[in-house]
Amino acid sequence: MLTNLAVRDIETLVHPYTNLATHREVGPLVLERGKGVFVYDTTGKDYIEGMAGLWCTSLGYSNQELAETAYEQLKKLPFTHLFSGRSHDPAIELAEKLKEIAPVPISKVFYGASGSDANDTQVKLVWYMNNALGRPKKKKIISRLKGYHGVTVASASLTGLPANHTDFDLPLPGILHTSSPHHYRFAQPGESELDFSARLAAELDEMIQREGPDTVAAFIAEPVMGAGGAVTPPEGYFEAINAVLAKYDILFIADEVITGFGRTGEMFGTTTYKMKADTLSCAKALTSAYFPLSAVLINEPVYEVLVDQSKKIGTFGHGNTYAGHPVGCAVAIKTLEIYKRDKIIDHVRKVAPKFLQRLTKLAEHPLIGEARGVGLIGGIEFVKDKVSKAQFEAKKGVALKSTSFAQEEGLILRALGGDRVAFCPPLVISEAEIDELFDRYERALGKTLDWVKAEGLIAG
């Protein structure tokens, strides 16, 4: 029986990444409040937020310092913009702090409101820069199959997932996709991680040569693939990719929207995986998701082109109303202060062994083929047969069913394509809460196994 609130939701909202037909039948999970790593629905039931919302609420829920910071900024200067040379102290201070902690040399910061618009900006900057440099053919951008970079027209084109393209007339021309670095799923029999990485780098090299190096402008990658399955890269992958990009003078864009600010046990995943990035996109944990804010970090060579071209054209014709919003910048400054003061990255390193031990242990379950992660992010993959790695039919939705059972057990996780489930709890989670998270999911796995057998998907 749907509650009044659920009926109102069904009749008023279009939900992102939701089967809208099914939603009309089952209704929403309506959350009312949160505290720490827990959120609570309208009946008072608690759930461990095993995805930190959408990979973002790093400091957990109801952090009073962040709430008070937002309130104080709202009272002082609730809004102004950065258009036409206007500025404000929070935007300046945050940019200074981002330059200080950036994992590669950074000259300037360009703000937005979401990870999607940050990566959209990256595309526009690449095109703009190469026009300014007299290289009008050097425009193609290479992303990866199963990579995720957003949902705006350009960023969704970068995303390498079919659901983001089907019937949206995407990807745009000039956006290419090379192989996914998922060793478990795509390595050849007996192929080591290093050999797999070398093969993927060779495939990228071949693609660039086939397209013409003078036409390929940039390569974009997440340190850890998020919506593509919470997939960590194989050994030696980015070292091999770095060499290929340097060979052809191709800009490397690091998409740190999910991995930035401690998720991998370093401030940035770029450091964890030795990525030689030229520009970075960040968002989400920049404000612990307490305010929509993104930032594109650009190096000096890119910035010099923007300056020269704005002199020629008369303006830098890009930006949005909420870019550098004073409340968002103030919250981000406080968020970065808390990360440093409370030694959040040290905490991640302390609890990560427990998280990874419980995560990888899931591979012992008869339905789980792979369980792998880094820091406080990881993914598992459901398989029909562990030896052959054969998968269930996608329409059976086994991973999705497991997250439904997890919700019954008081745990929120996210099912992704390829029958994968992601784990990405708030960075402030304790070891005891990690144990409780996995205890709840193991109970959900038991229910999933019973369901799979009852449905005849495997032998009983």
Q: Are residues 321 and 263 in the same domain?
A: yes
Q: Note if the bond before 171 is cis, omega within 30 degrees.
A: yes
Q: Which domain holds residue 387?
A: 4-62+344-454
How far apart are alpha carbons 426 and 50 in whole angstroms? 7
CB 150, CB 144: distance < 8 Å? no
- How does pLDDT run across 162-214, given as a tens digit for each residue? 999 999 999 999 999 999 999 999 999 999 999 999 999 999 999 999 999 99
Q: Which of 341, 372, 406 is the last residue of a domain?
A: 341
Domain assignment present for 459: no
Sheet holding 140-144, edge to edge: 108-112, 294-298, 279-282, 251-255, 216-221, 140-144, 175-178
Q: Are residues 161 and 141 in the same domain?
A: yes
Domain assignment present for 310: yes
Long-range CB contacts for residues 440-444, cutoff 8 Å, separation at least 24: 440/48, 440/406, 440/409, 440/410, 440/411, 441/50, 441/362, 441/402, 441/406, 441/409, 441/411, 441/413, 442/362, 442/365, 443/405, 443/409, 444/402, 444/403, 444/405, 444/406, 444/408, 444/409, 444/411
- CATH code of the domain in which 164 resides: 3.40.640.10
CB 290, CB 70: distance < 8 Å? yes
Tokens matching residue 369: 């083929």
Taking 80 as the threshold, does the pLDDT of residue 1 lie above it?
no
pLDDT for the residue numbered 451 = 97
- CATH code of the domain in which 404 resides: 3.90.1150.10
CB 75, CB 340: distance < 8 Å? no
- How does pLDDT run across 261-291, given as a tens digit for each residue? 999 999 999 999 999 999 999 999 999 999 9
- How does pLDDT run across 382-439, given as a tens digit for each residue? 999 999 999 999 999 999 999 999 999 999 999 999 999 999 999 999 999 999 999 9
The proportion of the chain whose per-residue pLDDT surpasses 70, expressed as a percent, equals 100
Q: Are residues 266 and 370 in the same domain?
A: no
pLDDT for the residue numbered 209 = 98
How large is the average pLDDT for residues 75-83? 98
How far apart are alpha carbons 4 and 7 in whole angstroms? 5
Number of domains comprising the chain: 2
pTM for the whole thing? 0.96
Q: Are residues 104 and 182 in the same domain?
A: yes
Q: Are residues 135 and 247 in the same domain?
A: yes
Q: Are residues 95 and 34 in the same domain?
A: no
**Predicted confidence band of residue 2 (pLDDT cuts 50, 70, 90):** confident
Q: Are residues 90 and 141 in the same domain?
A: yes
Backbone phi, psi, residue 446, to 5°: -60, -45
